Structure 1
Amino acid sequence: MIEVQHLNKSFKGKPAVQDVSFCVGAGEIVGYLGPNGAGKSTTIKVLTGLLVPDSGLVSVGGLVPWRERRRHVARLGAVFGQRTTLWWDLPVRESLELLQHVYRVPRAKFTQNLKTFTDLLELGPFLNTPARSLSLGQRMRADLAAALLHDPELLFLDEPTVGLDVVAKERIREFVRHINQQRGVTVLLTTHDLGDVERLARRVMIIDSGTLLYDGDLPALQARYGSARELVVDFEAAPVNAHLPGLELLEHSGPRARYAFTGPAAKPIACVTALAPVRDVTVREPDIEATIRRIYEGGLLADNRVT
């Protein structure tokens, strides 16, 4: 779906994207991560046809975005958390009907998609409400419907859950997962909310200072750069000595103890159950947000440039 080879783009002589290469297959959901100013927005603007690169090859669905822009934009959707594609003073329904004509969506297809999205995103209560009167969560749901009315093959999501409460975030994530699985829509996701990434994407790309530093499996990234896993043990009674060889004792208070460990959990669990009778055991996985923060702050991927 997306092929990028040796992409370069500078502004006033300052590189924004440097020699970036990657491919995204049809039907993938890929998280595109990086701190502010890393080059994410520049990459997305090139992929959508808004910017022309200084050099490199870019193909999206077989088209060069900035050369065949009319055909290109007809096959993609975009949702930007800080902006809306809805007409501010029009009811949501009328904005969607205008977009039907913009994208020349057949009436039957429009009616079918509107019904499907109304059900999945619970648009019914505010379809006749002007966009300016919507809550942030309502507007994001309406923007998602607007981006997908014309059945695009590719969806760009930029901070789709920014500012939303937990329930609204989960509704958005469930919808994105649905259209990916049921309609095969390819999704490129840029976000600072790593809950979005954990819930939606198995593959991530990390860019910093315009350079692509990582492209691969999210669990593998956590395993390599994440902190240790934790074993939380509730003993039947407080052990006299909770220390165990091969496990780092993080905390011991009464019958509860916390241990740090790496690798499979089977051996550490066997160790604690052999120490004393156990009432409950919980394995806590490394936090992805902490992992990404460690990567940025420690420059852990500085020598891992993707070519």
Structure 2
Amino acid sequence: MLSIKAESLTKEFKVFQSRPGLKGAFRDLFNRQYRVIRAVDAIDLSVNQGEMVGYIGENGAGKSTTIKMLTGILQPTSGQLLVNGYDPHGQREQFVRTIGVVFGQRSQLWWDIAVQESFRLLQKVYRIPEQDFKPYLDRMIEVLNISPLLDQPVRKLSLGQRMRCELAAALIHQPALLFLDEPTIGLDVLVKENIRQFLKEINKEFGTTILLTTHDLADIEALCSRVVMLDKGKIIYDGGLQRLRNEWGDGKKIHIETVDTYTLSQLQAQTEGMKVHWIEEGPMRFTAILENGNAKVPEVISRIVEHVAVQEIQIEEASTEEIVRKIYQEGLVHA
């Protein structure tokens, strides 16, 4: 079953275009000119129930506009869209009961009242029966470790404490789909790790579908096996993280420190016939750069250790952040 099904999803905005100078400003009073900006350009997106998908892109790529359409805040200009079987904008009242939303910069908790009172208000909003509400909330409180925070007003919580409470609030009605927009922004390393672990648990335990937008690609690497990359309103990549590394990474690097002194040509001779580029980093220190899809790390290491006295070996792989930055800078992927 699909949680999200979008076909040719498009959103256009009409933007006022001012003319230069005093004369132009005067003319604008009576005859305004507009131009159309296509923020999301005929994208196709399918997300299966229970998937955890990373949705990434540079500022202005169209991520936020897409999320606003998927959550029913904006109505698409054209295209077909179903989320949890509903038209998000046309069937808004029924639809919102099936989703949870956490925006890193916005709060759904009431600022001046205790956290547990916010939870009670949300229970009323979603009309959750007490017999369903209490056991599930108790589970959220336990997993997120927010019991000491329940009597405190939201304004007195730290950012990390508030984000844990925001997650509980977003999941209080057991939504089938959770939208996360920068959920770990500004948080310290330990809080980030706790939130990531919690998201893994609710995905595994309740089958909650998660769509995650973030600039912190460590979140994507920790949580998502699939990534959708957006650029100028178009999807330019939709697939696994490993395929992204294999196809657009610079290849793995093997850093070697030798026991004895060797020349660069001696190292090169050991991998003759393999697509490996060698660099001399210093006395008894060398780096082998492997081309993607060609030379394999175990084969290269096997050849080297057979004839070279090696003291230390380190294998380095390009990070997802480096690969994504390279894709945007050099335009390596095309729709």
TM-score grouping bracket, smaller chain normalisation: over 0.9
Tell me which amino acid in the other structure corresponds to 1:125. P
| Cα separation, 1, equivalents of 2:163 and 2:304 | 47
Q: Is 1:148 equivalent to 2:150 in the alignment?
A: no
CA contact (8 A) 2:182 2:213 kept: yes
Q: Is 1:160 equivalent to 2:186 in the alignment?
A: no
Q: Is 1:72 equivalent to 2:95 in the alignment?
A: yes
> For residue 318 of structure 2, what is the aligned residue in structure 1?
286
Offset, 1:247:
3.1
> For residue 100 of structure 1, what is the aligned residue in structure 2?
123
In the TM superposition, what are the counterparts of 1:183-222 in structure 2 within 5 Å?
Answer: 183-222=206-245
Q: Is 1:259 equivalent to 2:288 in the alignment?
A: yes
Unaligned runs of 5+ in 1: none
Tell me which amino acid in the other structure corresponds to 2:278. L
Match of residue 252, structure 2, among 223, 226, 229: 229
> For residue 298 of structure 1, what is the aligned residue in structure 2?
330
CA contact (8 A) 2:99 2:175 kept: yes
> For residue 10 of structure 1, what is the aligned residue in structure 2?
12
Q: Secondary structure at the match of 1:74?
A: helix
> For residue 172 of structure 1, what is the aligned residue in structure 2?
195
1:251-275, CA deviations, whole angstroms, 9 ceiling, x for partnerless residues? 5345543322134211111122123
In the TM superposition, what are the counterparts of 1:123-134 in structure 2 within 5 Å?
Answer: 123-134=146-157
Unaligned runs of 5+ in 2: 15-35
TM-score for the superposition, normalised by structure 2: 0.86
CA contact (8 A) 1:17 1:210 kept: yes
| Cα separation, 2, equivalents of 1:251 and 1:143 | 52
Offset, 1:104:
1.3
Moved more, 99-108 or 161-170: 99-108
CA contact (8 A) 2:260 2:309 kept: no
| Cα separation, 1, equivalents of 2:307 and 2:194 | 44
Tell me which amino acid in the other structure corresponds to 2:297. A
Q: Is 1:81 equivalent to 2:104 in the alignment?
A: yes
Q: Looking at both structures, which has the greater relative contact order when contacts are Cα pairs under 8 Å and sequence separation is at least 6?
A: 1
In the TM superposition, what are the counterparts of 1:16-31 in structure 2 within 5 Å?
Answer: 16-31=39-54
TM-score for the superposition, normalised by structure 1: 0.94
| Cα separation, 1, equivalents of 2:148 and 2:137 | 14
Moved more, 32-41 or 116-125: 116-125
RMSD of Structure 2 on Structure 1 (CA):
1.5
| Cα separation, 1, equivalents of 2:62 and 2:332 | 18
Moved more, 100-109 or 249-258: 249-258
Q: 1:156 to 1:250 in 2, by over 3 A?
A: farther
Q: 1:115 to 1:45 in 2, by over 3 A?
A: same
| Cα separation, 1, equivalents of 2:142 and 2:307 | 53
CA contact (8 A) 1:239 1:276 kept: no
Q: Secondary structure at the match of 2:242?
A: helix
Match of residue 262, structure 2, among 214, 222, 240: 240
Q: Secondary structure at the match of 2:237?
A: strand
1:65-87, CA deviations, whole angstroms, 9 ceiling, x for partnerless residues? 11110110000000011111111
Q: Secondary structure at the match of 1:249?
A: strand
Q: 1:90 to 1:255 in 2, by over 3 A?
A: farther
